[in-house]
Amino acid sequence: MIGKCLCGAVEFEVAGEMPNLYQCHCSLCRKTTGAAANAATFIEQTHFEWLSGESSIRSYVKDSGFRSDFCGCCGSPVPNLLRDTGLYFLPVGLLEETKGFQVVQHLYTDSKAHWDVIGGSAEQHDEMPSLKALNEALQHSSSVS
């Protein structure tokens, strides 16, 4: 599956079955996306490949360690490798396909915007579960090791 930023400079490919998605409603994700929440998932490093534009990627890291990588040309958020995890954070709005994906986790619902109405039956967390627990919820049961 192919993903691209808005201008197309940054392009990547994800191999294998796509995991489920999460949305984070925290104030930082609102800023980085300009929207109510991000929509993202985690991809095994071995299933992820940059096709072009890696040199166009800029990175912003807050004092807290919160990091946002984005295309230096168009500003789209782009994937980044989560430290020591072997997982890429993947903003799924970049993917060329949308069929078959499902949001299964909502994070930081306690700090969501007042105008943000969360629908559907996905599990909601006041804050953030552990990365391990979150990733297990996202990966299809067949691929959880």
Residue in 14, 18, 21, 26 binding Zn ion, rule: CB under 5 A: 26
| Options 1, 74, 82, 137; binder of Zn ion; rule CB under 5 A | 74
Region from 41-49, 67-75, 91-99, 109-117 binding Zn ion, contact rule CB under 5 A: 67-75
Interaction between residue 73 and Zn ion (CB under 5 A): yes
Q: What minimum distance in Å lies between the beta carbon of 32 and Zn ion?
A: 8
- The answer to whether 98 and 16 have CB atoms below 8 angstroms apart is no
Residue 138 phi, psi dihedral angles, 5° rounding: -85, -40
User: Which ranges of the chain would DSSP assign to H, the alpha helix?
Assistant: 27-33, 131-138
**Does 43 help bind Zn ion (rule: CB under 5 A)?**
no
CB atoms within 10 A of CB 126: 10
The residue count for the chain: 145
Q: In terms of CB distance, is 34 or 100 closer to Zn ion?
A: 34
User: Both tokens of residue 30?
Assistant: 């609102």
Residue numbers of the site for Zn ion (CB under 5 A)? Answer: 5, 7, 9, 24, 26, 29, 71, 73-74
